[in-house]
């Protein structure tokens, strides 16, 4: 089993990371921790990302801002760990390949080839997460 507290080393030759949001970003922009998350008004000391388009799609669709969802290919600028909100503390291992970092993510490009969920699926997910608080320890 992976150690969720152990930092990962970024290897741009073998790994691709995605971040879903409604922010309109450009290559080279930095996504910083310390802002309200996609899911709550509370500020988080973390920035979240995933190796799967599935998880990034949810991030893009559930973001609290106005405007269309967007998915970006990003690269971590520092160490990162498994996201305990969807990994070992809730599910064995890291099935969603979701991570978080206290260091910025650099936008590489916008990923345009993705398909969103139906309005009914989005409503059901919003209802499901409505009373959940993220793990920020």
Count CB atoms within 10 A of the CB of residue 103.
15
| Domains along the chain with CATH numbers | 17-129 (3.20.170.40)
Give 72-93 pLDDT, tens digit per residue. Answer: 999 999 999 988 877 666 667 7
Distance CA(28)–CA(107), nearest Å, equals 5
Q: What's the half-sphere exposure (Cβ side, CA atoms, 13 Å) at 10?
A: 19
Position 36 confidence tier, pLDDT thresholds 50, 70, 90: low
Give 111-129 pLDDT, tens digit per residue. Answer: 999 999 999 998 998 888 7
Position 95 confidence tier, pLDDT thresholds 50, 70, 90: confident
The answer, yes or no, to whether residue 1 has pLDDT greater than 90, is no
Q: Which two tokens stand for residue 80?
A: 């990162």
Nearest to 74 by CA among 55, 95, 87: 55
């Amino acid at each position: 089993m992976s150690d969720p507290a152990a930092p990962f080393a970024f290897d741009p030759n073998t790994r691709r990371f995605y971040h879903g949001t409604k922010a309109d970003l450009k290559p080279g922009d930095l996504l910083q921790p310390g802002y309200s998350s996609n899911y709550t008004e509370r500020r988080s000391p973390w920035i979240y990302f995933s190796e799967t388009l599935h998880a990034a799609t949810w991030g893009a669709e559930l973001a609290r801002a106005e405007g269309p969802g967007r998915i970006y290919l990003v690269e971590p600028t520092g160490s990162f760990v498994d996201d305990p909100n969807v990994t070992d503390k809730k599910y064995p291992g890291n099935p969603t390949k979701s991570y978080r970092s206290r260091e910025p993510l650099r936008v590489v490009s916008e990923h345009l080839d993705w398909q969103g969920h139906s309005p009914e699926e989005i409503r059901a997910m919003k209802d499901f997460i409505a009373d959940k608080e993220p793990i920020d320890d």
